């Protein structure tokens, strides 16, 4: 009787053919033990129950799609095929998909990462940074096409001086977490922003999953500026919310948190501006009343007399200068005559102490004359300055004018002196005006008539010179 002899490879090949036909695409439940990942990303573990154990392998292409961490003690459902590993002759299951038992895969991954980062202290309140009180530059990481960006800009652009920098990134789907993390690192390290908002609108757990991945959490934790997380709606919580310095209920709320203190400062500035304007208005009112009171004061009426007195003093001072000059010339002449007389004195009298005495007396005389001239010059300068302050021309330069009846140098103070047809002469800062009175109007109650733009009573009457006539 002939017998069939298999080589090892042939036998394992036939066994695998049977297994692949009978046990392909099956689900197996069990508990994970001895889980480990190779350097190439393959996942090896043992699936066991109370009575048996089976080796399992999950190739790197499939293992990369598992959202949670496969760890010992985890109860899972494994989907795959049975095979014999030819090089070792081991029976094993090639796993294509893993699902945790008792809860969803994403929820399990969320809890695992939350536990891991909490153990590292990334959620501690002590590491949370305060937001800047008066931010000038705000960064946003979100989708460039999403409604969340429009909602945030609507709040931020109420402050035109606020500089907003947007780093667009995908917020959903494969590769979104990597884009969000890269945008956070790029914008946070650019020194272009004072605070950073990371967020997107609402959605399912799968839609928001990019903000539950570890790269995003690490990027937020390492960001050099404070981060506000505004992901989803009020009820949505992500890992980004726990790591961020401030968690906002929505993207719009995140923008409002950033500018909350700016709004407070704007209100304070508006209040201060209002108080300042009211204070200035009060001061202007007081100054106006003081000016109106000074306009009719007796001291101002005596100003022409004061100016005339100062003019007389100035004239006396001006006459003093030639007198001092003549006095100096006379003293010099006397000194020259004395010197000539000394030269005629015999040499023995002029020698020695007499010569020194004459030189000393000459120096004393010169010093006395210099002091006399300096005092006179000082008095002259003081008089000129005082007269300049009270000069009639200075008063006219401030807008005043002097009106009198032609031929009468006295300033006009009472309209009763004017009759229709009276020729009036008005002195201004730069010339004179001649006018004819059309009539007069008495003030209420017999008091002074109100001022008119045509004739303004003068305060003093300087002498009329022919050079100014008709100008």
Q: Which pLDDT belongs to residue 97?
A: 86
CA dist 308 and 325 (Å) reads 27
Q: Which pLDDT belongs to residue 459?
A: 39
Band of residue 186 on the pLDDT scale cut at 50, 70, 90: very high
Band of residue 462 on the pLDDT scale cut at 50, 70, 90: very low
- Give the DSSP H or E segment for 302: none
CA distances, 272 to each of 91, 135, 249, 393 (Å): 83, 21, 33, 43
Measured between alpha carbons, how far apart are the two ends of the chain, in Å? 155
CA dist 314 and 307 (Å) reads 10
Query: 245: which 2 tokens?
Result: 């310095």
DSSP-derived letter for residue 412 is P
CA dist 210 and 227 (Å) reads 17
Q: Which of 459, 463, 401 has its CA nearest to residue 430? A: 401
Mean pLDDT of the chain, nearest integer:
81
CA dist 109 and 115 (Å) reads 10
Q: What is the mean pLDDT of residues 126-153?
A: 90
Query: 287: which 2 tokens?
Result: 């100054």
Continuous H helices in 196-238? 214-222
Query: 306: which 2 tokens?
Result: 């004061």
Residue 346's contacts (CB-CB under 8 Å, 6 or more residues apart) are none
What are the strands of the beta sheet with 163-168, ordered from one edge? 163-168, 137-142, 195-200, 227-231, 246-247
CA distances, 71 to each of 34, 44, 66, 75, 320 (Å): 8, 11, 12, 10, 115
The total of other beta-carbon atoms located within 10 Å of residue 201's CB is: 23
- Indicate if the pLDDT at residue 94 is higher than 80: yes
At residue 467, φ and ψ (nearest 5 deg) are -70, -25
Q: Which of 57, 60, 64, 62 has its CA nearest to residue 87? A: 57
Q: Which pLDDT belongs to residue 389?
A: 67
Q: Which pLDDT belongs to residue 453?
A: 39
Most confident of 132-141, 261-270, 388-397: 132-141
Q: Which pLDDT belongs to residue 83?
A: 86
Q: Which pLDDT belongs to residue 224?
A: 93
Most confident of 18-27, 98-107, 401-410: 401-410
Q: What is the dihedral of CA 206, 208, 214, 216, to 10 degrees?
A: 150
DSSP-derived letter for residue 416 is G
The answer to whether 176 and 169 are in contact (CB under 8 A) is: yes
Give the pLDDT confidence of 247-299 residue by residue, as tens digits.
998 999 999 988 887 777 777 777 888 888 888 888 888 888 887 777 666 66
- Indicate if the pLDDT at residue 432 is higher than 70: yes
Q: Which of 55, 61, 64 has its CA nearest to residue 85? A: 55
Tell me if residue 51 falls in helix, strand or coil.
Answer: coil
The answer to whether 68 and 108 are in contact (CB under 8 A) is: yes
Band of residue 300 on the pLDDT scale cut at 50, 70, 90: low
**Taking the mean position of all CA atoms in its chain, how far away is CA 407?**
67
CA dist 423 and 407 (Å) reads 9
Q: Which pLDDT belongs to residue 442?
A: 63
**Taking the mean position of all CA atoms in its chain, how far away is CA 8?**
81
% of the chain residues with pLDDT over 70: 87
Whole-prediction pTM value?
0.44
Least confident of 19-23, 84-88, 312-316: 19-23
Residue 149's contacts (CB-CB under 8 Å, 6 or more residues apart) are 140, 142, 143, 166, 251
The answer to whether 10 and 73 are in contact (CB under 8 A) is: no
- Indicate if the pLDDT at residue 401 is higher than 80: yes
Q: Which of 235, 241, 236 has its CA nearest to residue 128? A: 241
Token pair 């500018």 is found at 259
- Indicate if the pLDDT at residue 376 is higher than 90: no
- Indicate if the pLDDT at residue 168 is higher than 80: yes
Q: Which pLDDT belongs to residue 358?
A: 77
Q: Which pLDDT belongs to residue 32?
A: 83
Query: 220: which 2 tokens?
Result: 């937020």
Better pLDDT: 388 or 336: 336
Q: Which pLDDT belongs to residue 416?
A: 82
Residue 293's contacts (CB-CB under 8 Å, 6 or more residues apart) are none
Q: What is the mean pLDDT of residues 422-444?
A: 81
């Amino acid at each position: 009787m002939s017998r069939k002899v298999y080589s090892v490879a042939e036998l394992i090949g036939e066994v695998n053919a049977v297994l692949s036909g009978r046990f392909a695409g099956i689900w197996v439940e069990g508990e994970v033990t001895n889980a480990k990942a190779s350097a190439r990303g393959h996942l090896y573990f043992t699936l066991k129950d109370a009575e048996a154990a089976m080796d399992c392998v999950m190739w790197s292409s499939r293992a990369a799609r598992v959202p949670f961490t496969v760890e010992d003690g985890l109860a899972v459902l494994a989907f795959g095929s049975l095979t014999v590993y030819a090089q070792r002759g081991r029976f094993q299951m090639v796993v294509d998909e893993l699902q945790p038992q008792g809860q969803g895969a994403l929820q399990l991954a969320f809890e695992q990462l939350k536990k891991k980062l909490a153990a590292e202290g990334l959620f501690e309140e002590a590491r949370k940074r305060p937001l800047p009180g008066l931010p000038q530059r705000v960064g946003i990481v979100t989708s460039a096409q999403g409604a969340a960006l429009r909602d945030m800009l609507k709040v931020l652009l109420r402050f035109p001086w606020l500089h907003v920098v947007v780093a667009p990134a995908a917020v959903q789907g494969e590769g979104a977490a990597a884009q969000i993390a890269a945008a956070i690192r790029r914008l946070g390290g650019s020194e272009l922003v004072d605070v950073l908002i990371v967020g997107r609108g609402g959605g399912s757990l799968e839609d928001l999953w990019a903000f539950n991945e570890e790269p995003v959490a690490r990027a937020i934790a390492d960001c050099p500026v404070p981060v506000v997380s505004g992901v989803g709606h009020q009820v949505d919580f992500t890992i980004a919310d726990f790591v961020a310095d401030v968690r906002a209920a929505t993207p719009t709320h995140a923008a409002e948190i950033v500018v909350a203190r700016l709004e407070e400062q704007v209100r304070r500035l508006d209040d201060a501006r209002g108080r300042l304007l009211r204070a200035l208005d009060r001061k202007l009112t007081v100054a106006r009343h003081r000016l109106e009171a000074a306009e009719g004061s007796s001291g101002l009426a005596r100003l022409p007399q004061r100016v005339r007195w100062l003019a007389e003093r100035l004239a006396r001072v001006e006459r003093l200068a030639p007198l001092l000059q003549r006095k100096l010339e006379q003293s010099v002449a006397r000194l020259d005559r004395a010197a000539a007389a000394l030269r005629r004195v015999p040499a023995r009298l002029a020698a020695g102490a007499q010569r020194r005495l004459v030189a000393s007396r000459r120096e004393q005389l010169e010093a006395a004359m210099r002091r006399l001239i300096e005092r006179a010059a000082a008095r002259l300068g003081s008089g000129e300055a005082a007269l300049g302050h009270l000069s009639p021309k200075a008063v006219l330069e401030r807008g005043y004018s002097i009106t009198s009846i032609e031929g009468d140098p006295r300033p006009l103070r009472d309209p009763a002196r004017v009759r229709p047809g009276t020729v009036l002469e008005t002195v201004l800062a730069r010339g004179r005006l001649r006018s004819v009175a059309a009539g007069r109007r008495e003030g209420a109650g017999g008091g002074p008539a109100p001022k008119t733009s045509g004739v303004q009573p003068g305060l003093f009457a300087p002498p009329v010179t022919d050079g100014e006539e008709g100008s």
